[in-house]
Amino acid sequence: MSQLIQHLINGIAAGTIYALVALGYTMVYGVLKLINFAHGDVMMVGVYMGYATAMMLGRQARGSVGGVLLIFLVAMAGCALMGFLIERFAYRPLREKPRLTALITAIGISFTLSYGFQLDIGFLPGSAPRAFPQVIQPAQWFTLGDPEFPDVVLWNWQVISLLLAVALMGGLQFLVYRTRFGRAMRAVSFDHRVAALMGIPTDRVISVTFMIGSALAAGAGLLYAIKDTSVSPLMGLYVGLKAFVAAVIGGIGNVPGAMVGGLLLGLVEEFVVGYAASTWRDAVAFGFLILVLLVRPGGLFGRVAAEKV
């Protein structure tokens, strides 16, 4: 029983990170019907922004509450700006083009960021993995069993990660369903041409959507880096792909679905690692995706809509 509880804790901690990144995929798809495959690499850029900020602050300052908040704010603001620039100069000129054109562009941006950050010149970090600075001192907040070798351990970073993720998800849910901008976002998601005729500034709505999704990706990336400590320029490809799977499982384009899909994927991976073999983790994760789509082609919370041909 204690082993099951520990796996549940670990799976939820990992799932919240997948869910935060998946929210960016689902927001952009909901508004533009575009799979932004560069989203995971934007997350990677946010991690390196946080890394640079933490190194500039120094060991003592980055461990304080103000230092941690500054690291998150710099990374999230920087990625929000990057999301705006990517949408403005890469995706907006292709908005009326076939969707395949924008999809190929997204893949190109993804590889440009992931491999561009492997250059070891100027401010670029190089290809070697780096240890993310310790901004949160690990501490056991709750244990079960022997104090020396507890059966269940709840770490402080797991609680902080969950609380931050829930707060960001709750804020996004409020923005989408309880604000004027959220109504505009949902109108654009139905048809951006009709929304423009109704006086909605579609370009601004789409840009802000990209900015919010990119900022959430940066926050998720920092939580991931605090958990795993090792960061590299290719980390966005792996985490981004898993988050995309989570978004599809939940029903891409559906905000609550992205949250549930991320949590389910984190739990499935953790149970595979705990009760089977860690080498099966990725295979089972994608097998779970196939199983869900066989039963629910639109995802758990999605709907299959008929298309005119």
25-29, 74-78, 154-158, 250-254 — most confident range: 74-78
CA 127-131-133 angle, to 5 degrees, is 130
The range of the structural domain enclosing residue 232 comes to 2-295
> Is 249 exposed, middle or buried (CB count within 10 Å of its CB: 0-12, 13-18, 19+)?
buried
CB atoms within 10 A of CB 40: 28
The count of structural domains within the chain is: 1
pLDDT tens figures, 65-112: 899 899 999 999 999 999 999 999 999 998 888 888 989 999 999 999
Asked whether residue 191 is assigned to any structural domain, the reply reads: yes
In a domain, 300, yes or no: no
Beta bridge partners of 153: 143
pTM above 0.85, yes or no: yes
**Is position 305 within any domain?**
no
Q: Is 89 part of any domain?
A: yes
Residue 304 lies in a domain: no
CA atoms of 19 and 84, how far apart (whole Å): 22
Q: Determine, yes or no, domain membership for 60.
A: yes
Examine residue 225 and state whether it is found in any structural domain, yes or no.
Answer: yes
Say which CATH number the domain at 74 has.
1.10.3470
Residues of the chain above pLDDT 70, percent: 96
pLDDT, tens digit (0-9, with 9 covering 90-100), for 24-58? 898 888 888 888 999 999 999 999 999 999 989 88
User: What is the average pLDDT across 230-252?
Assistant: 90
Asked if residue 302 is part of any domain, the answer here is no
